[in-house]
Structure 1
Amino acid sequence: MHAYRPRAGTVGSRKDTFFSTGSKDKHFQAKDQDRQSQGTDDHNPVEYENTYKMEPDLKFQESQVRDIIAAVLKENISEKEYNHSTMNRGITLMCSKILERVKQLDMKRYKLISHVLIGENNSTTLQFSSRCLWDVRWDTFTSVTVTSGNIYATGMVFGVYAE
């Protein structure tokens, strides 16, 4: 037998909530409680319905996202020499700017992740990877590398479709 951990928002044990042999009201009460939002207005709770939408209305727009990443990186890397202290502060700002501009493309139901890597270009090799569980039909990413002097910057945006 597997260990059981109750779902958040349910009341009682597994037997009381899901396999009630007594009153059916307990079963439906717990089920309704799960479907209601946890908003501040308890008098008029919002109920959400599943859309069962398995594909996006608008696919991830790789070319537009690539242009946004390149523009943000070029705007923010104006220095010709690598300096760790100034680059460290700018990375978070660049990620935020990229994410903000990509969200303006209004690709509904996509979860967006922005990542920026900056380093010194001194004839060394750098490899990095990322792993994610996704659907190859709709989930994707795009990346751009920009160099300025002895600085290189790589910006990536991942778009994961949320069903």
Structure 2
Amino acid sequence: MAATQTDKNGTYQIRPDLKDKFRPSQVKEVIHSILEEKLTGFVYEKEAADEMAMGIAKVLRDRMREMNFPRYKYVVSVVIGELRGEGVKVGARCLWDADTDNYSSSMFLAETFFCTATVFATYYY
């Protein structure tokens, strides 16, 4: 059972039940399948990449809502870049509760471009 804290109006949940916790491995499969579906056959062009990244982020956000992890809020990050033989590093930092919050990410690599997609999930107390 999840930890609860009592206030004058009753109780509220401060930890998700085990069955309701964000599952990174399950979400990674979803991210990977969406990237494969949207990016297979895609030809990199800067303007098209901007629109594609926004579209993928929206699809991922909607899919997270459908997966119904109660009381979780999501931040979705999608980066599409052209492969030119140069290195690229993408980083993120968050302040969160290590017991309840988590993330999942996946990458798609084509001949001329790459795409990374990350879903950050924070539990809303």
Short-chain TM bin: 0.7 to 0.9
Q: Distance in 1 between matches of 2:74 and 2:42?
A: 30
Q: TM-score, normalised by structure 1?
A: 0.65
Instruction: Quote the Cα distance in structure 2 between the aligned partners of 1:131 and 1:50.
Output: 35
Q: Partners in 2 of 1:156 and 1:148 — Cα distance?
A: 18
Cα deviation, residue 132, structure 1: 1.8
- Shift in alpha-carbon separation, 1:50–1:128, aligned structure 2, 3 A: farther
1:51-130 alignment, distance < 5 Å: 51-57=11-17, 58-79=20-41, 81-130=43-92
> Per chain length, whose mean CA-contact separation is higher, i.e. which structure has more relative contact order (CA < 8 Å, sep 6+)?
2
**Does structure 2 retain, via aligned residues, the 8 Å contact 1:80–1:150?**
no
CA distance in structure 1 between the aligned counterparts of 2:95 and 2:107, rounded to whole angstroms: 24
Q: Displacement of 1:160 after TM fit? A: 0.3
- TM-score under structure 2 normalisation? 0.83
Kindly report structure 1 stretches of 4+ aligned residues shifted beyond 2 Å: 49-52, 78-82
Gaps of 5+ in 1: 1-48
Corresponding residue number in structure 1 for 2:110: 148
Question: Which entry has the higher C-alpha Rg, 1 or 2?
Answer: 1
Contact 1:79 1:148 (C-alpha < 8 Å) held by counterparts: no
Report the counterpart of residue 135 of structure 1 in structure 2.
97
For residue 25 of structure 1, what is the aligned residue in structure 2?
A: none
Bigger fraction of residues in strand: 2
CA distance change for structure 1 residues 51 and 128 in 2, over 3 Å: closer, same or farther?
Answer: farther
Deviation at 1:123, TM superposition (A): 2.2
RMSD of aligned C-alpha atoms?
1.5
**Structure 1 residues 53 and 144 mapped into 2: Cα distance closer, same or farther (>3 Å)?**
same
Would the alpha carbon gap of residues 157 and 50 (structure 1) be closer, same or farther in structure 2, given more than 3 Å must change?
Answer: farther
User: Would the aligned equivalents of 1:81 and 1:149 in 2 still touch at CA under 8 Å?
Assistant: no
- In 2, the alpha carbon distance for the partners of 1:60 and 1:113 equals 13
Long gaps (5+) in structure 2: 1-8
How many residue pairs match? The answer is 115
1:95–1:115 CA contact under 8 A, matched in 2: yes
